């Protein structure tokens, strides 16, 4: 058998084949990067074109107004309680008796 191993041998590629393989790998990486960059910019350009309605390159974002929340607190309630003293006639004699009437008032 000529002293050559045919099965299970690991042939080293020639320097030229190694250079071509490295260039091919580099070209594949650069091509993939270029396609991913184009893929990212083309939809943005299409959105800008549809947003402006013309083929211009200016990107203007639509003006959005923040929704406004208005809070109207309920009027505070408090008790109004006028008080007074009244004379009451009792069997034991006349007595000064305190009175108070209360109600809720919005204020």
| 7 DSSP assignment | S
CA end-to-end span of the chain, whole Å? 112
The residue written with tokens 């203007």 in the block is 60
What is the structure's pLDDT at 12?
72
- State pLDDT tens for residues 9-28: 556 767 777 777 778 787 78
Between 33 and 50, where is the model more confident? 33
Domain boundaries, the chain: 77-106
Distances (CA, A) of 10 to 7, 14, 27, 37: 9, 12, 26, 39
Q: Does the structure show a pLDDT above 70 at 32?
A: yes
**Residue pair 28/36 in contact by the 8 Å Cβ criterion:** no
Q: Does the structure show a pLDDT above 70 at 71?
A: yes
- State pLDDT tens for residues 87-106: 999 999 999 999 999 999 98
Q: Please tell me whether residue 76 adopts helix, strand or coil conformation.
A: coil
């Amino acid at each position: 058998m000529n002293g050559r191993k045919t099965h299970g041998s690991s042939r080293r590629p020639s320097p030229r084949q190694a250079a071509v393989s490295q260039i091919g790998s580099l070209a594949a990486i650069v091509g993939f990067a270029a396609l991913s960059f184009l893929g990212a910019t083309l939809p943005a350009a299409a959105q800008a074109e549809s947003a402006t309605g013309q083929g211009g390159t200016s990107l203007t974002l639509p003006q959005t107004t923040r929704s406004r929340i208005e809070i109207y607190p309920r009027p505070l309630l408090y008790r109004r309680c006028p008080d007074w003293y009244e004379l009451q006639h009792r069997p034991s004699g006349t007595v000064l008796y305190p009175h108070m009437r209360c109600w809720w008032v919005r204020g």
